[in-house]
């Protein structure tokens, strides 16, 4: 199942489909036999996250210019504790070499703006649903947040800012797996 979902995500990222179409496709492929779960996932307000992410990116890049030697911008997904509650959050960082998922990536970090962290409501709604569903495997807990963030950034990043062709955008876990968002 891993390979199928990952290939589907890669295909969606290269398509011209909309954010909601992409989200429906991913959810359908994973929970097609459970209408209740399907409806919960589709109820996540992707439009609000899209707008807030646009604002975050614009504000961040206006205040902190991306250095010329940046070749990779990584949108990192991580869990943290905030006000005694575990939440999912994002960070934006840039690297001078194409190694955004290794333990040595800090050596090549060239962009770490002050306001690099963001907490999307939809991502945390997804987290709550995933944790409340008794049948969710570790695979669901791992793949759905990556899918959600990747398709959000597919529909947001390049319509929000202009980046040189040599800069790659990747989305994924800050300390692990990621996927490239094609120009």
| Ordered per-residue pLDDT tens for the chain, 183 residues | 778 899 999 999 999 999 999 999 999 888 877 788 889 999 999 999 999 999 999 999 999 999 999 999 999 999 999 999 999 999 999 999 886 555 567 788 999 999 999 999 999 999 999 888 877 678 888 899 999 999 999 999 988 888 888 999 999 998 878 899 998
The pLDDT score that the predictor gives to residue 140 is 82
Rounded CA separation 93/10 (Å): 22
Q: For residue 77, report the phi and psi dihedrals to the nearest 5 degrees.
A: -110, 130
Rounded CA separation 25/5 (Å): 10
The pLDDT score that the predictor gives to residue 29 is 87
**DSSP structure class, residue 105:** G
The pLDDT score that the predictor gives to residue 176 is 78
The pLDDT score that the predictor gives to residue 103 is 55
What Rg do the C-alpha atoms of the chain give, in angstroms?
16
Rounded CA separation 169/159 (Å): 13
Rounded CA separation 155/164 (Å): 18
Rounded CA separation 79/124 (Å): 10
| Count of other CB atoms within 10 angstroms of residue 16 | 5
Domain ranges of the chain: 2-181
Q: How many helices (H) and strands (E) does the chain have?
A: 7, 6
Indicate the angle between helix axes 46-63 and 121-132, nearest 10 degrees.
Answer: 130
Q: Is the pTM of this model over 0.85?
A: yes
């Amino acid at each position: 199942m891993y390979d199928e979902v990952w290939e589907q995500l890669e295909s969606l990222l290269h398509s011209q489909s909309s954010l909601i179409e992409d989200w429906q496709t991913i959810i359908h492929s994973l929970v097609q036999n459970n209408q209740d779960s399907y409806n919960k996932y589709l109820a996540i307000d992707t439009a609000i996250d899209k707008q807030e992410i646009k604002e975050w990116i614009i504000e961040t890049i206006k205040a902190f210019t991306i250095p010329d030697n940046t070749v990779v911008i990584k949108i990192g997904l991580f869990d943290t504790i905030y006000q005694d509650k575990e939440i999912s959050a994002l960070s934006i960082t840039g690297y001078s070499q194409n190694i955004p998922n290794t333990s040595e990536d800090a050596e090549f970090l060239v962009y770490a703006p002050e306001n690099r962290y963001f907490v999307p409501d939809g991502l945390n709604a997804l987290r709550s649903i995933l944790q409340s569903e008794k049948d969710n495997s570790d695979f669901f807990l791992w793949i759905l947040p990556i899918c959600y963030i990747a398709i959000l950034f597919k529909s947001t990043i390049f319509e929000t800012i202009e980046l040189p062709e040599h800069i790659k955008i990747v989305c994924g876990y800050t300390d692990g797996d990621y996927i490239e968002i094609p120009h």
